[in-house]
Amino acid sequence: MTGSEDDKAANIAFRWDGEFADRHLEQEFLSATWGETIARNRAILLAAVIFTAAAAIDYMALGFSQTFLQLFVLRILTLIVAFAPIIFFAEGRDKKGYYASVTFTQIYLFSVLMLAAVAGASEMRDLAVTAIVILFAYYIAVPNRLLLNVFVGTVCSIMLLVAMLTVMNGSLYGVGLMAVMCLITNVVGVRLGCMSGQLRRTEYTSMQHHKNMAVRLADEVAERRIAETEARANERSFESVFRAAPLPLALVRPGETRFIQANKAACEMLGVSREQVKNVDLETLVADGLSLQSVGQLTELMSARKPVEVSIGTRDGRKLWVNFTSSAMRYRGGPAILIALHDVTHGRMEKENLRQARDFADAANRSKTEFLANMSHELRTPLNAIIGFSEALTREIYGPLGTPKYAEYAEDIHHSGVHLLNIINDILDLSKIEAGKFDLGDDEVELAFLIGSVMRIVAPRAQQAGVKLEMVLENEQFVLRCDERALKQILINLLSNAVKFSREKTIVRVTAEVHAHMLRITVIDQGIGMAAEDIPHALEPFRQVDGTLTRNYEGTGLGLPLARRLTELHDGSLSIESERGHGTSVFVDLPVERLLAPTAEQMAGAGQKTAGDFASAS
């Protein structure tokens, strides 16, 4: 019986006749007590036998007469009628039939009694006492429903009063007094029957409650025994797996620091025997100099099943880095924490080596950057003098050189000096970017003008290579907020590369358009191209895709990496699409937020503009 059933047992509702208000519960009660009902009905048989034997009284009053014989037959029939409920309805399948049979038996017996009293000319006083006793017996002893007993009592009372008034010629006073006695008898009988019914049903529910409690207790005891058996089996299985596990495992109680158990792998890791493991304490094991409070925090973290990495000192003097992972469980009747000790010493050493290597590389890179910056500054001073003097010689500012060959030599010196100065400037800019010291300007730049100026710078080299330059803008009114010198350097590097690697009589085209919320500047050539897997190498400083290119084409491998870094400083990106033998496209994508003009309406009304050719194929 569950908790709700307990409440139900404590709050049973009854009808006026003492039966359960819950008809389902009433049917359960009748079925459960049917054997008792049949046993009580056997008492009626005994009463019927006695009633039949009372025929001797009839004989004394009537003698061996026809009336006596008729009454004797009726008394014998009473015995047969009393047997009918037991013979036909003992199994309880037809309870309505049983109660109808009992009701008929009660009325029949009372009717025979009335006939015998009238025939024997009994006194009214004697008849009244006998009738009242029988009515009380009906209410208290006969196993019939109270509703049917009320019906029987009413019918029998009416029969008695009618007989007294008509056949026995009773006075109205006497009959009235008898009517009051019958009413009292029926009322008291109903009350006693109701109380008896409630008492029997209350006893039944109490017995059912205790029976269910006993069953539930037995089930709980059985379940507990099964659980204890399973727990012992699980504990044995756990201990066998625990001991044989290749991973070091240990057990501690929550809030404590001393091991209560450890497997072979853990003993080998800690350098202790199985007997010594119970003396291992986290406070002495941890080699990081943790305080007792810190050890307590360590156990709290393990209780919360959070991984903890600490350094431990073993009994044989080794120092290990161990990652503690934990899981809550029950062990030998109490809470416990299962700890897995992962030896991460090797990984920790590798991390430390990698960190040291990274620090060394960073230091070397800083030294390289500082060296390049210093050397570039040292080289720039004499180069400025060489460039200035060679330009003075080329222009013959202080008079003619005399021999034309000297003028050619001076021009070569000037071009070489300018080229070397550009390389040094690229190195300086790259060093500043790597050192985080490059200061980005905030200029308003007309894109068409800037691209045009870059094309004019590259035009002599393009004309010499037989390459045609073209500019195609989605809108020639593009105005950007950017570092003008940096953007100019990006375009110079990209155009110079495009011209350098282009075939004769091909076109290098520069386009600009708003593309996917970005302003895209594209430099397209029809040159030698490169394989897709070589593109990442082309974006690395001081590296070219093919070593032979350095010999065939002058260059340091700084142009693309520097352009990429400068683009990223503008919160943009630089990407390359290329195919060997089919040219290269370089995309410079800048945030559209840097576009100051034109507006969206102006963009919608503008068409493509081509801003001239700066070099034609020869």
**Has residue 108 got a pLDDT over 80?**
yes
Query: Would residue 190 count as lying in a domain?
Result: yes
User: Does 220 map to a domain?
Assistant: no
β-bridge partners, 328: 337
Q: Are residues 409 and 486 in the same domain?
A: no
Q: How far apart are CA 96 and CA 240, in angstroms?
A: 67
Q: Are residues 329 and 355 in the same domain?
A: no
Q: What is the CATH number of the domain that holds 301?
A: 3.30.450.20
Provide the pLDDT for residue 266.
78
Its domain, for residue 333, covers: 245-343
- The amino acid at 80: I
Q: Give the best-scoring range by mean pLDDT among 315-329, 422-436, 569-583, 600-614.
A: 569-583
Average pLDDT over residues 250-273: 79
Q: In the predicted model, is pLDDT for residue 185 greater than 60?
A: yes
219 within some domain? no
Select, from the ranges 75-79, 80-84, 97-101, 453-457, the one with the highest average predicted confidence (pLDDT). 453-457
Same domain, 208 and 251: no
Q: Is position 225 within any domain? A: no
Task: Kindly indicate the confidence band of residue 550, based on its pLDDT and cuts at 50, 70 and 90.
Answer: very low
Q: Does residue 221 lie in a domain region?
A: no
Q: Are residues 335 and 389 in the same domain?
A: no
pLDDT in tens, 205-218: 888 888 889 999 99
Same domain for 421 and 445? no
Whether 502 contacts 465, CB under 8 Å: yes
Q: How confident is residue 292, by pLDDT bands cut at 50, 70 and 90?
A: very low
Arithmetic mean of pLDDT, 39-55 = 77
Domain boundary residue, one of 309, 343, 377: 343
What contacts 49, CB < 8 A, 6 or more positions away? Answer: 79
Q: Is residue 235 part of a domain?
A: no
- Whether 363 and 265 map to the same domain: the answer is no
Q: Do both 326 and 430 map to the same domain?
A: no
Q: Per mean pLDDT, which range of 229-243, 315-329, 415-429, 473-487 is the poorest?
A: 415-429
Q: Are residues 62 and 128 in the same domain?
A: yes
Domain identity same for 418 and 455:
no
Q: Which of 288, 315, 343 is the last residue of a domain?
A: 343
Residue 188: alpha-carbon gap to chain centroid: 68
Domain boundary (297, 325, 343) is at 343
Asked whether the predicted pLDDT for residue 490 surpasses 80, the reply is: yes
What average pLDDT does the structure give for the chain? 79
Quick one: average pLDDT of 528-534? 89
> Which pLDDT does position 616 carry in this prediction?
42
Whether 528 and 583 share a structural domain: yes
Do 196 and 338 fall within a single domain? no
The first and second tokens of residue 18, run together, are: 């003492």
- How many domains in the chain? 4
pLDDT value at position 294? 47
Is there a single domain that holds both residue 495 and residue 551? yes
Closest C-alpha to 117, from 179, 52, 163, 165: 163
Structure tokens at 54: 């009372």
Model pLDDT for residues 153-164, shown as the tens digit of each residue: 899 989 888 888
pLDDT of residue 258: 78
pLDDT score at 602: 55
Domain annotation covers residue 72 = yes
CATH number at residue 378: 1.10.287.130
First to last CA, the chain: 107
Task: Specify the range with the lowest mean pLDDT, choosing from 129-133, 339-343, 419-423.
Answer: 419-423
CATH number of the domain at 524, please: 3.30.565.10
- Which residue has better confidence, 525 or 434? 525
In a domain, 234, yes or no: no
Residue 512: pLDDT over 90: yes
How much is the average pLDDT of 225-251?
81
